[in-house]
A and B are shown apart, each in its own frame.
Chain A
Amino acid sequence: MGVVGHGARLTWGSSEMALLEVDDLAVRFRTLRGEVHAVNGVALTVEAGETVALVGESGSGKSVTALSILGLLGRAASVTRGRVEFDGQSLLGRSERELRRLRGASISMIFQDPMSCLNPVMTIGAQVREVLEAHTDMSGAATRRRSVELLDEVGMPDPAERANQYPHQFSGGMRQRAMIAIAIACTPRLLIADEPTTALDVTVQAQILDLLRRLIADHGMGLLLITHDLGVVADTCSTTNVMYGGRIVESAPTRQLFGSPAHPYTVALLRSIPKLDGDRKARLLAIEGQPPVLRADPVGCTFVARCGRSLDRCRDDTPALVEITTGQRCACWNPVAG
């Protein structure tokens, strides 16, 4: 090991500081039809060596949260409030130059679609080397050696030969492995995986999740896993944050969340998973209605329109994320009792 980007690290904070701490983060997009409040007061923590899930349906603000951690929101978006701290150092308001040194070196990200995330006209090896060249002082020969090592580490057969091949010569699973090799090239302290297995076959999904688990354990990285697949969450993550309509509605240790969900949305989400041993004639339970379009400044609970347990105050009063039992926090006026 020992491959660390020069100048890539911020000054390390004290050891009890969480690796990543996001608090009260709010992101707005300016659109032609007014502002969209994509993220509204998201708070989450990732410790080193821990895997944290961010679960939610499309448009709930998961990816926007991830991109704002990296400072990669486009021109149309802006962080209006909140705190993002990596190792005790704020990431918001940093210059593009400082962020660029951090990206790929201390914080890395892998995306959903390995088919299109690799440059089609560059060999895989060149794409791994490129990150090493951007963030370390390694010589050409050293980066070549290291890139083959990395491909080997992510379980690529014949890494030396595969390094000279182009993305189109790889299967989906192998491309995702290559993406992971690129992401961990500089042994980042935090890895953000945005739906890393969504585009893959189920068997390949399991392999990729195994790989991620092993890398987290080997390198003590923190992993923020963004997904809509609760099955992936159940056997990978220690803590789960459920996101809905730009807010975290429930946050708990995974076991506890699956065992005694408190927020009506989490309950509905868990009920909508098909079960192998269930009655085959029974209809799959869907959540009625549509997710909200977050145009106006949202007042009240965003889930209220689809919630079976809504009270009068749910419409006008935004519930805060409060601890309801040890370790389990829920933003609801009328939570489901465990």
Chain B
Amino acid sequence: MTIQELPSVVASPGNDPVAPPSVRGRDVLLRLRRNPGALAGLVIVGLVILTAVLAPVLAPDTPSGQAFLDRLGGRCCPGPTTEHWLGLDELGRDVFSRIVYGARISLLVAVVSVLVALVAGALLGATAGYFGGAIDSAIMRLVDVMLAFPSFLFAIGLVALLGPGLWQLMVAIGVSNVPIFARLLRGSMLGVRASPYVASARVLGLPSRRVLTVHMLPNAISPMIVAATLALATAIIETAGLGFLGLGSNDPAQPEWGAMLANTTRFLQTAPHLAFFPGLAIVVTVLGFNLLGDSLREAIDPRLV
């Protein structure tokens, strides 16, 4: 399940515009607890977050700290030892430490970029869905134009425009994900707009700002939460992808999993562990967010199971 498939599921016009009574925090938590996939996802995501937070405690070395090369016995990139669990890279840096610190970068970029996408997408989608008509058409055509570019390509283009760096990365990934959120919220806003409680809010003469923020948005937002969780997974992949292409941060003190992979391609035959461990970190983290997002979706909309 990718997020692109999501809008049709959660916002199809046939769906009951009123949130089914089961979409309640307590029920959602209960269903999450019963789902082994959700638990696995939660554990993985929790561990990644813990790793990121406790990086200075967990990591035996700083990410840019180099072991004296002469102690390596002149060989490049020794494999795992008891002293360096995941080995040393070509510059004598501890791979384990770099992966641990890398969790910080990956999470930071993913969270910030998804927030950027969420906020901008929600603004566009809510505006389109609330006003409808010409405003809706204008916004959605803009979104269609953005969707016409593969989102990764779009992000590459933006980084090329902004220059490499961590902040530029966040903006690029964030902006390239805006269309997904805009479409999703617009769809569910359209559904909510047609609902009787919004009609009765109008009949009661409530100001339109209040109808939008109090009656429509809170009822339309739940698919966005699921989409955001799944978008975190894509954002991590895109971060790694851009890092791999050398479009991330150049700062050696900011080890990025994708960039670590890129540096190791030259040593694949002699030191495959250098590529294996950052790759594993990416796979596991993405898996965790996907498991969590999918089970959250099922918990919020039990009809899909």
Contact: B205 with A119, CB < 8 Å? no
Taking CB atoms, residues of chain B closer than 8 Å to A299 are: none
> B205's contact among A75, A100, A115, A168, by CB below 8 Å, is which?
A100
Given contacts A111-B200, A130-B210, A134-B210, whether A116 and B18 have CB atoms under 8 Å apart is yes
Q: How far is the CA of A193 from the CA of B204 in the complex (A)?
A: 13
8 A Cβ contacts from B185-206 to A: 195-197, 199-206
In the complex, A183→B206 CA distance in Å?
Answer: 12
B153 contacts partner chain A, Cβ-Cβ < 8 Å = no
Tell whether, in the assembled complex, residue A134 and residue B207 are in contact, meaning their CB atoms are under 8 Å apart: yes
**Residues of chain B contacted by A72 (CB below 8 angstroms):** 199, 202-203
Question: Which of these, A75, A104, A115, A116, contacts B203 with CB under 8 Å?
Answer: A104
Which of chain B's residues have a CB closer than 8 A to the CB of A103?
202-205
| Contact, CB under 8 Å: B210 / A70 | no
Interface residue ranges of A23-44 to B (CB < 8 Å):
none
What's the Cα separation between A108 and B196 when bound, in Å? 15
Q: Is A118 an interface residue (CB 8 A)?
A: yes
Q: Are B205 and A134 in contact (CB under 8 A)?
A: yes
Q: How distant is the Cα of A101 from the Cα of B207 in the complex, in angstroms?
A: 9
Question: Chain B nearest CB: distance from A144 CB in Å?
Answer: 17
Report the Cα distance A260→B201, complex, angstroms: 41
**CB within 8 A of A134: which of B18, B19, B206, B215?**
B206
Q: Which residues of A contact B199 (CB under 8 A)?
A: 72, 111, 117
Are A113 and B196 touching (Cβ within 8 A)?
Answer: yes
Q: Which single member of B17, B197, B214, B218 contacts A118 (CB below 8 Å)?
A: B197
Q: Does B73 contact A (CB under 8 A)?
A: no
Instruction: Give Cα A99–Cα B215 distance, bound, in whole angstroms.
Output: 20
Contact of A102 (CB < 8 Å), options: B17, B24, B205? B205
A122 touching B204, Cβ below 8 Å: no
Is the C-beta of B150 less than 8 angstroms from some C-beta in chain A?
no
- Cα-based distance from A121 to B21 in the complex (angstroms): 10
Give Cα A57 to B89, complex, Å: 80
CB-based nearest B residue for A110? B200
A119 adjacent to B204 (CB under 8 Å): no
**A257 within 8 A of partner (CB):** no
Residue of B nearest to A118 (CB): B197
List the B side residues contacting A108 at CB < 8 Å.
203-204
What's the Cα separation between A257 and B197 when bound, in Å? 35
Q: How far is the CA of A100 from the CA of B206 in the complex (A)?
A: 7
Complex Cα distance A244/B211, Å? Answer: 34
Residues of B within 8 A of A55 (CB): none
Which residues on the A side are within 8 Å of B204 (C-beta)? Answer: 103-104, 108, 130-131, 134, 182-183
Question: B197 → chain A, closest Cβ, in Å?
Answer: 5
Known: A72-B203, A105-B205, A121-B19. 19 other contacts (CB 8 A): A72-B199, A72-B202, A103-B205, A113-B196, A116-B17, A116-B196, A116-B197, A117-B196, A119-B214, A120-B18, A120-B197, A120-B219, A122-B214, A134-B205, A134-B206, A168-B21, A168-B24, A182-B200, A183-B204
8 contacts between A and B (CB under 8 A): A75-B133, A101-B205, A103-B204, A104-B204, A115-B18, A120-B197, A121-B218, A182-B204
Binding site for B on A (CB under 8 A): 70, 72, 75, 99-105, 108-109, 111, 113, 115-122, 130-131, 134-135, 168, 179, 182-183
List residues of B whose CB falls within 8 A of some A CB.
17-19, 21, 24, 133, 195-197, 199-207, 210, 214-215, 218-219
